[in-house]
Amino acid sequence: MALLRPVKRTVASPTRLRQIVIISVICLALYCFLLVPEHSLDSSRSTIIDTFPRHPHHSDSSPNSKQKANPPSSVLNNFHLTTAQCRSTFPYLTQEIDHAVAKGPFTLTRRPHDMGPLIARIRNGKLSILSYARRSDLSREMLQHRSATLHQIANALLTTPPDETPADTIIAFNHEDDPLSPSLSYSRPADPVLNGADKHIFPIPHFSFYAWPIATVGSFPRASSAISVLESEISWSNKQPQAIWRGTTWFNHPRAGRLRQDLVASTKSQPWADIAPLVVHANGSSNGLPIEDFCRYRYIIHTEGVTYSGRFQYHQLCASVVLSPPIAWMQHVTHLVRPVFSHALPGVERTLTSPAASRKEKLAPYPASWVKSAWPKSYNPATEANMVFVAPDWSDLEATIAWLEAHPKIAEGIARRQRELFHGAGYLSPAAEKCYWRALLRGWSSVVRTDGQTFEDLDEIPWEEFSLKEIHK
């Protein structure tokens, strides 16, 4: 019987094992840096869920580290989302409403005249008008704004899911730029001192979500579509490396001083700026730009007006860096802004050659005390920020843009996070607008008190009839 020979086992030497480990590490490194897409290595990319802490009033307030995919266009254009779907799709949408409701009940008093906020009733899901300013007392623009917003309310009611009938209530809608309390207004003061517990201001979506008959702007849906086409055709590196602004220099709030005049003066003849007062010639031509063309620039300068600026939400659709003095007027989604303050950028300093200094004025403290209360945090520019706040006298604007140009990945990240939030995540979408309106009407109705105010004595005009009178009377 033949004997079986023992099998000789080969054991790798320690030197051979080290070689195998080293080769494996090198292969892994090559895979990460050569095969993995660049965006996955870019630290400036962050998920929306990481960027925005959940608001305590949201039922899904526990943090979630997983990235949430953007809703499809079929959802963002759905006018009939239920309350639960709205909360799930846009979990940060209703913060302004939540804050207003948290102040508690208030009484809506009947005024002895028809000026001031328009008073309307919602009953059985239908809109009717009780008290309103006469056409002769309003400018053409004010009539347009009022009509557009009432159309928004009527559409929100019309598209309410059948099993979510709106609560019966009486609303006060202020169509002037300056917010009034209590009312639905286009904005509220950011300064907590001006928006105390006795102020009941519910910010509403801008009237342009329905229509804005200005040739260079147009309705928000039109502009959103045009901006999407432009952004799909142009990369960050191909955008104009300048700051863009057009506007009327006299349109300032008294608290803002010579904000717009100083902007023009401080950027005159600067190669990094395409900034000029808006000029309209007798033949109707102007140096204005279609609103979507602002997105062709890397940097967009935002200035508020007497109060809020209606162009802000258009700029937020751009994958461009919006630079502005600290926002003083909160619109319905301004709370989603995550600013990095210019003074937090390493090496950015204010210059004494600003227009204010040329008037022999000292540089005002920046940020002001109200800003520290309204905007208490400066966000990380590489991972969180989606906008840049600069000094209100523009004394560090040039240095800030120079810093961003020297850090293109960070600048592009700020711009990208802005568009990914307001466009990609849909916070300025048609669906979000309808969701917001219905949440606002629920919130308002839960705290408004009208007993004993004799609103029942007012003649009630169905909205459909009122809308025709607005046009044809």
Pairing label, strands 118-123, 126-131: antiparallel
* pTM (predicted TM-score): 0.84
Q: Report residue 84 CA to chain centroid gap.
A: 23
Confidence (pLDDT) at 17:
55
When mean pLDDT is compared across 5-14, 157-166, 272-281, 374-383, the lowest value belongs to 5-14
135 with 143: CB under 8 angstroms? yes
Q: How large is the average pLDDT for residues 180-186?
A: 97
Confidence at 34, pLDDT banded by 50, 70, 90: very low
Tell me the per-residue pLDDT of 225-272, one tens digit each, with 9 for 90 and over.
999 999 999 999 999 999 999 998 887 777 777 899 999 999 999 999
Cα dihedral sign, 343-348-351-355:
negative
Structure tokens at 82: 């239920």
Average pLDDT, the chain: 86
Q: How far apart are CA 182 and CA 444, in angstroms?
A: 10
By the 10 Å C-beta count (0-12 exposed, 13-18 middle, 19+ buried), 29 is classed as exposed
Q: Which domains does the chain have, with CATH numbers?
A: 82-205+430-472 (no CATH), 220-331+334-424 (3.40.50)
Is 285's pLDDT higher than 50? yes
Flag whether pLDDT at 33 surpasses 80. Answer: no
| Rounded CA separation 92/78 (Å) | 18
% of the chain at pLDDT higher than 70: 82
Residue 269, phi-psi category: left (phi > 0), alpha (psi -120 to 50), beta (remainder): left
**If you average pLDDT over residues 105-120, what whole number do you get?**
85
| 59: pLDDT strictly greater than 70 | no
In the chain, the percentage of residues whose pLDDT exceeds 90 is 71
Interval 203-220 mean pLDDT = 93
**pLDDT confidence of residue 472:** 53
Mean pLDDT of 95-118: 90
pLDDT for position 256: 73
Per-residue confidence (pLDDT) for residue 89, from 0 to 100? 98
447 has a pLDDT exceeding 60: yes
Is the separation of the CB atoms in 432 and 76 below 8 Å? yes
Residue 36 — pLDDT band, cuts 50, 70, 90?
A: very low
